[in-house]
Amino acid sequence: MRLSRLFFTSLRDDPADAEMPSHRLLLRAGYIRQLGSGIYSLLPLGLRATKRVEQIIREEIDRIGGQEMEMPVVHPAELWRESGRYTKIGPEMVRFEDRAGRDMVLAMTHEEVVADLVRDIVKSYRQLPVIVYHFQTKFRDEPRSRGGLIRVREFVMKDSYSIDVDEAGLDRSYRLHYEAYERIFRRLGLETVAVGADVGIMGGSEAHEFMVLNEFGEDTLVLCDTGDYAANQQIATMRKPEPSAEQALPKEEVATPGTTTIATLAAFLGVGEDRTAKAAFFVAGDGRLVTAIVRGDFEVNETKLANAAKAVGGLRPAQVEQIRAARMEPGYGSPVGAHDAFVVVDDLAARSPNLVAGANRTGFHLRNVNVGRDFKPDVVADITNAREGDPCPACGKPLKLRKGIEVGNIFKLGTDFTVALDAAFLAEDGKRVHPIMGSYGIGLGRNLACVVEAHHDDKGIVWPAEVAPYAAHLVSIGAAREPRVVEVAERLHRVALDAGREILYDDRDESPGVKLTDAELLGMPTILTVSPRSLAAGGVEVTERATGERSTRSVEEVEAMLSGTEPVPA
């Protein structure tokens, strides 16, 4: 590909609103352009790199028996009503009507369509197991997109779906994907850690997220150095300290003016934060107020809380009026004397005696509050966030908190979708059975961005060979002065083309500085420089982008490399 013809332009200056290296570099090097918030065009270079990511994924999913197909982006809303997600999912799903007034949605994911196809096609256990997958556009109207390609609203995802006869089959499909993902990320040059994760709107029983550690990551990971524990903070557990063993003392009210936070309260009373109870207020799907109580030295984990309070439905932060309606006072709140609130207490707080808790009266707290004696919890569960340094639940060593970007996920869905759509097959014993599904996603653009995050330097992108849009970047220098430069460069380009291994050829009439700088910015693994100087030195200067290592090879040698009789240097 001649750079003079390529639909592309590089930017000399960093775009003002790009913060992450991948965003900055993909923009500057002419791989992507933004159309709107969270909506990007892939320019020719960007598409080529994405196709290479796609091909790696395709090969690895094919290898575990996946069958590629393609499902639509626009779905009849009816299908989503059948699964129950039409109402369960909020405004992140785009809904509209077609000309006939039928309700339609833009696909956020494809479990419904797969279940619908299974209902149509799978009649017998003999047809299972099956893994199907496709690369398809998803649209999710995220409340906030960010980080260039890291979090967008429209993106292409590889989503695969396993359909199995029983749990053992699902375990196998899940394991196959786990292993395929490890191979995919290794080939992409990404170091990942698989963490246990919340199942979210997918439902089901088990999920892992493959995470790349990155300071711009949106998820917090809880990791143990020994490698025996890794989980998303949303579900991470830890060993909790043993509360002091003491007798329950009589409750007493104490004036604590201006202490609306645990820190100010503990300081005012001269006690540790671990001797206080913290209240957080939410409103459940059914409108009830949910009060979460944790010890003051811990924080409420909303995912765990939502799972513990499942009985009352999804949670939203409560308004002041709603808290007061339940006879509690924000800043000085506790379930003592409250009414009509669903109370979830953390297991540690429940076991900790004589805590300081809100008196539900501005400027006052209660000493020696004891859960069970002074108020009754509806649920006692682990609802706190793991903290840096908390003991690992597996081995007791201190846990670490790290930021990560989710590059892939795998879910055990179970039979939720097949039951909802009544997709069933006849088992060996003649009984109607709902197959068990799994779903497995990898976002292409996000992975591309993560590759750049992991493979760049101060000059530009440094593509791993497997992802590079072109294996080599040929630069001609001094072409105007020396006809032989053009001759050699053109011949090398021709040779590569004829061998079906197209390279990027900078034939532009630009200064050497511009061309070399662009070559480094664009990031192909090998830079081939043809100039009067290189010809005088015996041929073509070959630079490995990753190491900066340079050597001069004869024209014939380079021709051989490009025509494939020798591997293309990488």
Partner RNA sequence: CGGGGCGUAGCGAAGCCUGGCAUCGCACGUGCUUUGGGAGCACGAGACCGUCGGUUCGAAUCCGACCGCCCCGACCA
- CB nearer RNA, residue 105 or residue 355: 105
Instruction: Please report how close the Cβ of residue 361 comes to RNA at its closest, in angstroms.
Output: 27
CA–CA distance from 518 to each of 467, 474, 521 (Å)?
Answer: 18, 11, 5
Phi then psi for residue 442, to 5 deg, are: -140, 120
Distance between CA atoms of 126 and 103, rounded to whole angstroms?
A: 36
Chain residues binding RNA by CB under 7 A are 9-17, 19, 34, 36-38, 90, 92, 108-109, 138, 140, 142-147, 151, 155, 157, 197-198, 200-202, 209, 216, 218-219, 302, 317, 406, 409, 441, 443, 459, 477-478, 480-481, 511-514, 516-518, 520-521, 529, 531-534, 541, 543
DSSP state of 495: H
Instruction: Please report how close the Cβ of residue 407 comes to RNA at its closest, in angstroms.
Output: 10
- 197 by Cβ neighbours in 10 Å (0-12 / 13-18 / 19+) ranks as buried
- CB nearer RNA, residue 435 or residue 441: 441
Beta strands in 107-170 (DSSP E): 130-139, 154-164
- CB nearer RNA, residue 416 or residue 541: 541
- CB nearer RNA, residue 125 or residue 463: 463
- How many helices and strands, by DSSP H and E, does the chain display? 16, 29
Contact 413, 226 (CB under 8 A): no
Vertex 343: Cα angle to 341 and 347 (nearest 5): 175
- 423 by Cβ neighbours in 10 Å (0-12 / 13-18 / 19+) ranks as buried
If we measure between CA atoms, which residue out of 475, 446, 457, 489 comes closest to residue 543?
475
Contact 79, 114 (CB under 8 A): no
- CB nearer RNA, residue 14 or residue 228: 14
- CB nearer RNA, residue 10 or residue 370: 10
Instruction: Please report how close the Cβ of residue 460 comes to RNA at its closest, in angstroms.
Output: 8
- CB nearer RNA, residue 8 or residue 364: 8
- CB nearer RNA, residue 94 or residue 433: 94
149: left (phi over 0), alpha (psi -120 to 50) or beta: alpha
- CB nearer RNA, residue 139 or residue 229: 139
Distance between CA atoms of 103 and 97, rounded to whole angstroms?
A: 5
Tell me the two tokens of residue 46. 């960007």
Instruction: Please report how close the Cβ of residue 151 comes to RNA at its closest, in angstroms.
Output: 7
Vertex 62: Cα angle to 129 and 561 (nearest 5): 170
Phi then psi for residue 5, to 5 deg, are: -105, -15
Residue 440 CA neighbour count, 13 Å, CB half: 27
Vertex 254: Cα angle to 252 and 255 (nearest 5): 160
3-state SS class at 294 = strand
Tell me the two tokens of residue 93. 């799903």
- CB nearer RNA, residue 15 or residue 396: 15
Instruction: Please report how close the Cβ of residue 75 comes to RNA at its closest, in angstroms.
Output: 15
Distance between CA atoms of 144 and 134, rounded to whole angstroms?
A: 26
Instruction: Please report how close the Cβ of residue 146 comes to RNA at its closest, in angstroms.
Output: 4
Is it true that the peptide bond before 567 is cis, omega within 30 degrees of 0?
no
Pairing of strands 436-443, 399-414: antiparallel
- CB nearer RNA, residue 19 or residue 253: 19
Instruction: Please report how close the Cβ of residue 43 comes to RNA at its closest, in angstroms.
Output: 13
Instruction: Please report how close the Cβ of residue 108 comes to RNA at its closest, in angstroms.
Output: 6
135 has which bridge partners? 158
Instruction: Please report how close the Cβ of residue 202 comes to RNA at its closest, in angstroms.
Output: 5
Instruction: Please report how close the Cβ of residue 424 comes to RNA at its closest, in angstroms.
Output: 25
Instruction: Please report how close the Cβ of residue 562 comes to RNA at its closest, in angstroms.
Output: 18
Tell me the two tokens of residue 491. 């011949």
Instruction: Please report how close the Cβ of residue 475 comes to RNA at its closest, in angstroms.
Output: 8
- CB nearer RNA, residue 321 or residue 429: 321
- CB nearer RNA, residue 122 or residue 485: 485
222: left (phi over 0), alpha (psi -120 to 50) or beta: beta
Distance between CA atoms of 435 and 347, rounded to whole angstroms?
A: 37
Q: Return the H-helix or E-strand segment holding 551.
A: strand 550-553
Distance between CA atoms of 404 and 34, rounded to whole angstroms?
A: 24
Instruction: Please report how close the Cβ of residue 144 comes to RNA at its closest, in angstroms.
Output: 3
